[in-house]
Amino acid sequence: MTELAEPKRARGRPKKTENERDDGNRRQALISAAAELFHRKGYDATSTREIAARVSMQPGSPFYHFGNKQDLLLAVMVEGMKQATERQRTACGMLSTQQTDRDRLRVLIRNQFDVLLGPDSDFIPVMLYEWRSLNDAQRQTITQIKDDYEAAWTPVLQALHDSGQLQAPVGLARLMIFGALNWAVQWYAPPSPSRAGQKSRRASLDELTEAALALFLRDTP
């Protein structure tokens, strides 16, 4: 009797199933949903069941991507800092060599307000509100990413200090500036739609930026 030859195996890695191909998107969807719910309701008041339901997953599905809810919180913060860093890099990359150090600080401040208060701005407020919910190792991870992000401000602040426009010591000024900007998530309300030609009394992000510059810097002597 003639033996049937075994079917030839396709070279390379086996094709992924539809669910496997979508794993990255599903993970990102979980992170985005968690950011929104953690921001709106708080970390402790949000369950993984709610997060899964928001993206039409089974209640246990988040644990396929994250070990526990705390790991998901860390992922939200890492994603927020990743986005903030990329936005900052893009904004600074558009500056020309003719622009002043004051212009450079303006761009950094405006970007920070956009990260905190603009579209898709759930991530960083979660980091500010829920920092204590991380364990020590997770805090170290976020601290390193945050320090790298803030490091881009140091040469600009140093140049402004050297020119006399920034009078406080650079390290202390950086801490106080970020403290002031980040606190805006507690009180800021975007401009409301104006009525029949009336201008909204609420400040725009551009107006906040100019107010911050006036607060932090003095005119060149």
Whether 23 shows a pLDDT value over 50: the answer reads yes
Average pLDDT score over residue span 89-109: 93
Whether 133 shows a pLDDT value over 80: the answer reads yes
Whether 111 shows a pLDDT value over 50: the answer reads yes
Whether 127 shows a pLDDT value over 50: the answer reads yes
Contact status, residue 146 vs residue 178, Cβ threshold 8 Å: no
According to CATH, what is the number of the domain 70-191+200-216?
1.10.357.10
Q: Tell me how many degrees the CA angle 100-104-105 measures, rounded to the nearest 5.
A: 115
pLDDT tens track for 174-217: 999 999 999 999 999 887 765 545 555 688 999 999 999 999 99
Which range is least confidently modeled, 6-20, 112-126, 159-173? Answer: 6-20
Average pLDDT score over residue span 40-48: 94
pLDDT of residue 98: 87
Ranked by mean pLDDT, the top range of 3-17, 57-71, 101-115, 195-209 is 101-115
